[in-house]
Amino acid sequence: MQSNNIQEEVNSILARMDGNGGEDEQAPKQSIPIEGPEPIQDIYVLVVREHEEPDQPHETEIIETTLAPKKPSLLAIPVCFFALLLPIASIAFQLYVAFNPFTATVTILSKSQQVALSGTVQLGRILSPITLSHSQTVPTTGRGHQDAKAATGFITFYNGQLQNITVAAGTIVTGTDGVQIRTNETAYIPAADLTANPPLIGHVTVSAHAVHEGAGGNVQAFDINTPCCNSVVAKNLYSFTGGQDARDFQTVSHADMNTIATVLKTSLAQRAQSALQKQMKHGEALIASSCTSQVTADHQVGEEADQVTITVSDACSAIAYNKDGLLKAVTQLLTIQAIRSLGTGYHLDGAFTVTVHQATRSDTTPTLVFSSVSTWVYALSAQDQERIQVLIAGKTKQEAMRLLSSLPGIEHVAIAWRDDTKLPKDIQYIHLVLLIQNS
């Protein structure tokens, strides 16, 4: 029963297909140009029969499908992607190079050398000399000691007898104040000459000293006027002096003089410097400032004194010079020295030091003695740099380095470029980096 139903469905489908074909035959025919074989498509007909249910009519559904193209394998996708990417990347790289050519970086280390110079230059003016003084009184710190000492003098012996009289050395005579005096030598007293007109009394004078040490032996003249020694008379016609008592006292020491003098000199030096600075003009510096000091005191070293007054006097003079004027003059001398020792092409690198050691005075302009140290660098101007770019354009890296190393003033050369590739011919793609060698 079922096979009969299937057969009927198939026959029905074929009948409808034949009916469509009949309609095509009845239509007027047209000539169609044949361009070529048309693609052949497989048409599959699937007949689906629903299960029959009791008491319901059979329904038939016809589905037409077209076979889908076969899917490519997964490995073909990346292969195709890279096959397309490589030409695109090559074209992009060529366009980038065309609009952004590679730049060769050439690093040049320039030579630098130091130039030392010593010399003289006439520059500056002599300031007006100044004189300053300062005094200070301070207690003395020295200590002195005085030993006791006997007074000394002379004794004259008078002889009124008609015979010579001898008075031995060491004879003691006493004054009216009780001071005893001892003779130092024997006195030979001649006899009196009564026949002379007027008569002459024999006399002789000998040295003597006080028996006891101390200031009490300093007797006045004629304090001794007494008979002595075989009827002769002893007298001191002059005062005895030099007698002194033992004692301790203050004196002026070297420390007193030196300490105070040093303090005063320091104070005066500051004042003198300030006074000289007031004479300077804007932009000037002071050189050859010299002061002559003189130290005086009202008591000398070792002299007895409770205090001493010390005075220090300074006579100062100096030379002032314009600092910019000195730098300008030394720069000219350094330039001459650099050209003479290094040749042309070197330029002064930054500031340099100048030391003025002394100044010689003259009637007109002082002469400054100086020394200086400066650094000079071989400098490449804009024109020099362009000439270098033209020189190495299109050359290989080794040839360019050889050419640059032969140029004067270049210490070292480095080129950031491939060894097997020539440098760009267009100089705008050659970049120079200039470095300075540290001396």
- DSSP of 242-253: --B--EEEEE--
30-40 pLDDT per residue, tens: 444 444 444 54
- What is the DSSP-derived secondary structure letter of residue 185? S
Q: What is the arithmetic mean of pLDDT over 90-115?
A: 74
Q: pLDDT confidence of 196, banded at 50, 70, 90?
A: confident
Burial class (CB in 10 A: 0-12, 13-18, 19+), 336: exposed
For the chain, the structural domain boundaries read: 126-142+251-320, 148-245
pLDDT of residue 23: 45
Q: pLDDT confidence of 438, banded at 50, 70, 90?
A: low
The angle, 0 to 180 degrees and rounded to 10, between the axes of the packed helices 397-405 and 382-392 is 140
pLDDT at 125 over 50: yes
Do residues 256 and 271 lie in contact, with contact meaning Cβ atoms separated by under 8 Å?
A: no
pLDDT of residue 335: 92
Burial class (CB in 10 A: 0-12, 13-18, 19+), 2: exposed
pLDDT of residue 283: 93
pLDDT of residue 71: 56
Q: pLDDT confidence of 51, banded at 50, 70, 90?
A: very low
Looking at residue 262, its amino acid is: T
pLDDT at 331 over 90: yes
Of 370, 345, 367, the closest CA to residue 356 belongs to 370
pLDDT of residue 25: 44
Phi-psi region of 177 (alpha: psi -120 to 50; beta: other; left: phi over 0): alpha
281-284 own/partner pairs: CB under 8 Å, 24+ apart: 281/320, 281/322, 283/322, 283/323, 283/324, 284/320, 284/321, 284/322, 284/323
Q: Which residue has the higher pLDDT, 422 or 85?
A: 422
pLDDT of residue 287: 87
pLDDT of residue 60: 47
Contacts of 51 (CB under 8 A, 6+ apart): none
232-289 pLDDT per residue, tens: 999 999 999 999 999 999 999 999 999 999 999 999 989 998 999 999 999 999 987 8
pLDDT of residue 54: 46
- The Cα–Cα gap between 244 and 170 comes to 21
Average pLDDT over all residues of the chain: 82
Tokens describing residue 432: 């120079």
Q: Percent of the chain scored above 90 by pLDDT?
A: 50
- The Cα–Cα gap between 403 and 105 comes to 16
Q: Percent of the chain scored above 70 by pLDDT?
A: 77
Instruction: Catalogue the E-assigned strands of 254-352.
Output: 284-297, 307-322, 346-348
Contacts of 284 (CB under 8 A, 6+ apart): 320, 321, 322, 323
